[in-house]
Structure 1
Amino acid sequence: MDDLGAEIGTCISEDDTSVDDEPRSKKRRLYVPLSAECFKRTPKETGFHRSARECLRKIREDLLQHRWQEAAEYMISYFQTLEDTTVTKQLLASEIIWRLGTEILHHHPNSNPEDFNSFLEQMKNIGVKSYLKVSLEHAFHLLLTGHFDEAKQQLSIAESWRYGRQSASQADKMKLIHAYRGFLDYFSWISKKNATSGDDDADVADHKEMHNYFRQASVNLQEILKQPGVWDPFVIGYVNMLEFYNDQDGALSILKEYAYDNSFPPNPNAHVFLYDFLKRHDAPEKKLIRVLEVLQALVPSHELMLELCSLLLKSDDEKHLEEATGVIFSLLDYSSWKQNLEAWTYLRNTVKILKKKKLMHLITKEWETRKDWWPAFHFRTHHAKIDLEESKELITLKAKTASLLSGHKCIYCRKKLELFKESNGHAKKVRNVVKRTASPIASQEVSRGHY
């Protein structure tokens, strides 16, 4: 335990004062997720427990104020809680020491990678039930510091770890360990593929090694994708490998299951991945529309809704045109699209198509549900000023749309005319000044419209 305390205290001898000289107003306030139970008094509390509780409170305050040196000093004292005779409190203490000790070592300016690695190795053995969680965090830390092979080795060791009877939670964590091990094998496959793709001299052994990485990654990634969850990076990696080996059916099956299996949580990215795959492989437009329709139900403001609108407008079917109208109006219901020229262009094009086909009642239908709030949301005078700063094309397009929806007397259209008059008047003054002050050659250029 003394060695464990030394991992946090290695920096103390070098600096006895607070190491954080940053102005307090600029500090980023941390949230330390400690349960209120950690600070509660218990009926049979001893002096030992009171001291431990007060020490933990001090550590928390120092962490919130970024006083890493003081936190490290208090942490050395808090290690004594590992001597508690209650198993439950020992487990809680090991968890707290692991999490807070990691935070301190991560931020303390005098800590080094050796301290960090040694601390985590000892935490694995003290809190054996946290072994897998600590191993996974250790691997992440090594990856962030650029030690890929060491991270892979940590996960390999964790894969073979066993302690007593395996609980359900341990089984889930072991699946996660396998998954990340497979993900690192995928990165090894990527690296090998990039190295051999441009090398004409690559021999059979290189391709065999690359295929071995693919096989190892596939085994682990297949298993994790059977578990309900959000596994975006794993799915992308697995599909990438399957596409490389021309297993399009296998890749499509994975993506469909990930997107449509009801046991998985709703995930818009799953439908984006499926759409991108189908588009890459020239799938029929009907399939593309079906995928984007599901995405639209989940995220009406997604940028792919412009593509859905485009696909629907290509059809002569009135139902598709009605759907396209609803899609573009729903997109513009969101503030992130208020000044998007492309979105307003799509709305204008939709109006033109519906007008040509004598289906303007579809526009009226959508407008009826929005006429009470769209004018204040899109067509106020201050919107016109902002839109003109964005581009003249945008304010012109929105003015035409506003006049169609709200009538020619809408305040947005009037403001647009005022702004254009002011802009033209200013430009005319500038041209007159240039004519009076310019040389004869420059005057000729002005008369030709070059200024």
Structure 2
Amino acid sequence: MDDTQIESVPFEDLEDDNDSSDDNSSKSGKKSKLPLVTSTCAETPRETGFHESTRICLEQMREALLHHRWQEAAEYMACYTQMLEDPTNGRAQPCKELIWRISAEILHHHPNSKLDDYNNIYERMKHSGVKHYLMICLEHAFHLLLNGHIEDAKRQLSAAESWRYGKESAAQLQRTKLIQVYRSLLDYIIWCDKKFTHSSTEYSHSGGNQDTHNYFRQASVNLKEILKNPGVWDPFILSYVEMLEFYEDHEEALKVLNDYAYDSTFPPNPNAHVYLYQYLKRHDTPEKKLMKVLKTLHVLVPSHELMLEYSSLLLQSEKKTDTQKALEVILEMLDFACWRSNLDVWKSLKAIIQKLQSQEDWKDVVSGKMAARKDWWPVLHFTSFHASKDSEENPELMEVKASLMKILCPDLTLKYAAGQVTSGE
């Protein structure tokens, strides 16, 4: 499981909690699909004076947070942390995550917060119990990294990597792998710094090169292992490939990218095909192989910017079917509003149609591709509003579109060039 997936899963699921709440039922007896909201400030039966004061403290802190009164919230938090000492079984544990999350939020927004404040709260929460230990370590490392303390962040992750408690659960194993791969990512960052330092000196020091290579070896172990776990691992894969490319291990780099893109156990990931295409293009791969990668990307994301390159490669082919495929690719790009005013895409469409016109059945080909579009394409591209906008902002675009209007929509009387359309459109 990658970090994005973990962030999107409720923390209770990650901690393997078995507690569940009964859903409210509607009058018809069906269970509501809406999540239940459990109040953290609700009064409970047989409430002691201590619990009453901490409940009121949490209510006031919540109000301060909602109105961004960070200093006031910090003062309430200083009192609320007494809950960590609550001797009542079952009460302290739910409050630990609450204190961790709210404290980090307050410190993030408080104008006078310092790195030491973050370190103190993270260390206190890590040692208040084992349930959230690994995730707190990971978040602590992120904060150190954002503040430029890379070595300190690595020490945090190295300590978490070797941490074990009781019988290792599946959730704990997943988090440990996440810790390991982020520690390797920090090794990659240090490797980048050392590589830059050595490359900027007048001569290469053998000891320095060995030191740099050691970081590569440390990073590559877990970055390579991550491919054994299906998920979206973009930054880790890119880091590993960059190092392999630097050491000219092109065979391994290509294998990693191919596995990442085409392993059926991984979720569909357009970025994986983009990375493979970019790598192949950097190394002067034949166009046939480039087109194969872009063909898969086209299925996943027909509006991707690389589809312009895909249509260009298809247009360069001498195959009749490739020219028709290029027309399909460009028309699908223009189905999306984000490309509606892109001059390069319209120019590409014009070039494709000009090449198609050398074929006897070109009109049938164009009409076939436009058959499903004729009811809504004029509204998307050829209204009086578009004519006015294009003539003002990009006259060249208007000229290209006007030259294609009758070819794409021969059965409609459009006056796009004059800034008008018929009432039926």
TM-score normalised by the chain length of structure 2: 0.85
Sequence identity (%): 50
Q: 1:210 to 1:416 in 2, by over 3 A?
A: farther
Single out whichever of 259-268 and 59-68 deviates more from structure 2: 59-68
Whether contact under 8 Å (1:152, 1:181) holds in the other structure is yes
2:396 matches 1:393: yes
**Residue of structure 1 in register with 2:23 after alignment:** none
Deviation at 1:112, TM superposition (A): 1.4
Q: Cα 1:336–1:154, aligned 2, differ >3 Å: closer, same or farther?
A: same
SS at match of 1:126: coil
State the match for 2:381 in structure 1: 378
Instruction: Confirm or deny: 8 A CA contact 2:41 2:58 kept in the other structure.
Output: no
CA contact (8 A) 1:325 1:362 kept: no
Shift in alpha-carbon separation, 1:224–1:360, aligned structure 2, 3 A: same
- Structure 2: segments with no counterpart, 5+ residues: 1-34
Counterparts of 2:91 and 2:321, CA distance in 1: 64
* 2:405 pairs with one of 395, 402, 406: 402
Query: Which of the residues 412, 415, 425 maps onto 1:411?
Result: 415
Q: Kindly tell me: are residues 96 and 35 of structure 1, through their superposed partners in 2, closer, same or farther at Cα, counting changes over 3 Å?
A: farther
Contact 2:324-2:356 within 8 A present in 1 as well: no
Q: Secondary structure at the residue paired with 1:39?
A: coil
Structure 1 contact 403–413 (Cα < 8 Å) conserved: no
**Residue-pair matches, total:** 384
TM-fit CA distance, 1:45: 5.5
Correspondent of 1:173 among 160, 172, 175:
175
Following the alignment from structure 2 to structure 1, what is the Cα–Cα distance between the partners of residues 364 and 60? Answer: 68
Aligned to 2:366: 363
- Greater helix fraction, Structure 1 or Structure 2: 1
- Pairwise CA distance, 1:35: 7.6
Alignment deviations for residues 150-176 of structure 1 (CA, whole Å, 9 cap, x no partner): 111211222222222222211111111
Post-superposition offset of 1:403:
2.5
1:402–1:413 CA contact under 8 A, matched in 2? no
When Rg is computed on C-alpha atoms for both structures, the one with the higher figure is 1
Deviation at 1:214, TM superposition (A): 0.6
Q: Which residue of 2 aligns with 1:194?
A: 196
Shift of 1:225: 2.5
Aligned ranges 1:34-433 → 2 under 5 Å? 36-39=37-40, 41=42, 44=45, 46-47=47-48, 48-49=50-51, 51-85=53-87, 87-358=89-360, 359-407=362-410, 409-415=413-419
Q: 1:87 to 1:232 in 2, by over 3 A?
A: farther
Q: How much has 1:78 moved relative to structure 2?
A: 2.1
Distance change (3 Å), C-alpha of 1:242 and 1:267: same
Q: TM-score, normalised by structure 1?
A: 0.81
One-letter amino acid matched to 1:68? W
CA drift of 1:286 comes to 1.7
Q: Distance in 2 between matches of 1:127 and 1:70?
A: 27
For 1:198 and 1:77, the matched residues in 2 are separated by 53
CA contact (8 A) 1:380 1:412 kept: yes
